[in-house]
Structure 1
Amino acid sequence: MSSSEQVRTTARRARSTIAVVLALAVAAVIGLALGYQAVATPVLSAASPGGAPHGDGRAADAPGPGDRARPAPGLPPPPPDGTGWAVTDGVTVDDGVVPDGVTVFDGRFPAVADLDPDLLSAVREAATAAAHDGVEFSVTSGWRSPAYQEHLLREAVAEYGSAEEAARWVATAETSAHVTGDAVDIGPADATAWLSEHGAEYGLCQVYGNEPWHYELRPGAAEDGCPAPYADPTHDPRLQQ
């Protein structure tokens, strides 16, 4: 091979090498660009925390216009007919029906909110003190509408077999302290036991011997103690109408 041919061969090899290097460089640049785009633009899917599986742009955990609000912990959800948390033969929470788990601090319910303000304040003060002893007050009944009171009286007559026996447990709508918001029924048993021992300090007194859950406000009890309870409502002169 002549010297001129050697020069031409060497030049061709150099150009081929340069072309290969340039091709590899271009491929590397394209690969880096595609990788950056994949990182910078995440794919949204129903499984992604930021996705929109609802099909309307909402995130997976965002409530939609048809989603029902969740009730507070410990309370049952409202029924779908819109009548409230609890319904008993036509009377609802608006009449004073109390779902399980309601405390003296739960002013969403008329049974609590419509109690006499002084009574409610005393019960809440007592409940706060009891909580330090590990005791929680639940409201099993509070304010009641006349319709609810009459409903309870009819139930009592059916259960006990006569109006006379029912009167030992349920007053009429005209005489009940629940209807005026002046009585509250507290549970569970450890709460009534706590009130039996400490209630007088807050003016809270058990009124009937057969109802350890029924408390009313007696402002003088803090100094003089609670008066002796009546055996049952039929012995209460306030109810003799």
Structure 2
Amino acid sequence: MNDPSAPRRVRRRAVALLAALAVASVATVVVLQAIPAANGSVTAPRGASIDTAAFQPAAADGLIPENERPTVFDDTVPAVANLNPDLLAALRAAAERAERDGVEFRVNSGWRTPRYQQWLLDNATAEYGSEDEAARWVATPDTSAHVTGDAVDLGPDAALDWLTQHGDRFGLCQIYANERWHYELRADAEANGCPSMYGDPTDDPRMQS
């Protein structure tokens, strides 16, 4: 004998199954976060799984949007204004001289909060697949010269070319061979030249913490 309630039970099971699949889809959503790119800026990743509730950096944390690269003279941008005063003075002196050669300095990244630095490191680890590989590009909050305001990532290429030739006259030195854009102040560079570069941050004793 046919059970008249069977179709209703089948429909209820189908609805329950669809609801379970929907929940599973939400739980496994892939969120596209920004990660450090190999030019000193941040770009969209190729698909790292990141918590949707994760911290999102803002200008107050030192974020500079890719389409809003300030000059070294822009005091309204925290990433610039919060740089070490000696570094900022050297950057501005160099930029004023470079302008005579038709070259303008633009800041891709400068000062950052520890939370922003950790966010960059977490995303780099997800992108590059390991903490060891991420460490070649992004320092920890405890070791980063960006967090202390002692480093700046510059562009465009014309500015980097100019600094390669003239940066030491202002104490501005490229520190890592794999980061052409990353500059720090070395006060004795004008007299002695810039020190030899590290291959990448993992060679830097300051990063060993």
Quick one: which of 68, 90, 108 aligns to 1:140? Answer: 108
**1:96-115 pair list within 5 angstroms:** 96-99=62-65, 100-115=68-83
Give the whole-Å Cα distance in 1 for the aligned partners of 2:82 and 2:69: 18
Q: Secondary structure of the equivalent of 1:206?
A: strand
Deviation at 1:158, TM superposition (A): 1.3
The answer for the alignment partner of 2:141 in structure 1 is 173
Tell me the TM-score normalized by structure 1: 0.63
The answer for the alignment partner of 2:177 in structure 1 is 209
Deviation at 1:172, TM superposition (A): 0.2
Deviation at 1:89, TM superposition (A): 4.9
Tell me the C-alpha RMSD between the 2 structures: 1.1
Tell me the TM-score normalized by structure 2: 0.72
Deviation at 1:155, TM superposition (A): 1.3
Q: Secondary structure of the equivalent of 1:91?
A: coil
Give the whole-Å Cα distance in 1 for the aligned partners of 2:119 and 2:166: 33
Are positions 1:223 and 2:191 aligned together? yes
Quick one: which of 61, 64, 87 aligns to 1:95? Answer: 61
Quick one: which of 127, 143, 165 aligns to 1:197? Answer: 165
Number of paired residues? 154
The answer for the alignment partner of 2:87 in structure 1 is 119
Q: Secondary structure of the equivalent of 1:158?
A: helix
The answer for the alignment partner of 1:57 in structure 2 is none
Structure number with higher relative contact order (C-alpha < 8 Å, ≥ 6 residues apart) = 2
Give the whole-Å Cα distance in 1 for the aligned partners of 2:116 and 2:164: 28
Could you tell which deviates more after superposition, 92-101 or 177-186? 92-101
The answer for the alignment partner of 1:36 in structure 2 is none
- 4+ residue segments displaced more than 6 Å: none
Give the whole-Å Cα distance in 2 for the aligned partners of 1:143 and 1:163: 22
- What 5-or-longer segments of structure 1 have no aligned partner? 1-87
The answer for the alignment partner of 1:183 in structure 2 is 151
Give the whole-Å Cα distance in 2 for the aligned partners of 1:158 and 1:197: 36
- What 5-or-longer segments of structure 2 have no aligned partner? 1-53
Deviation at 1:101, TM superposition (A): 2.7
Are positions 1:149 and 2:117 aligned together? yes
Give the whole-Å Cα distance in 2 for the aligned partners of 1:189 and 1:111: 20
Are positions 1:239 and 2:200 aligned together? no
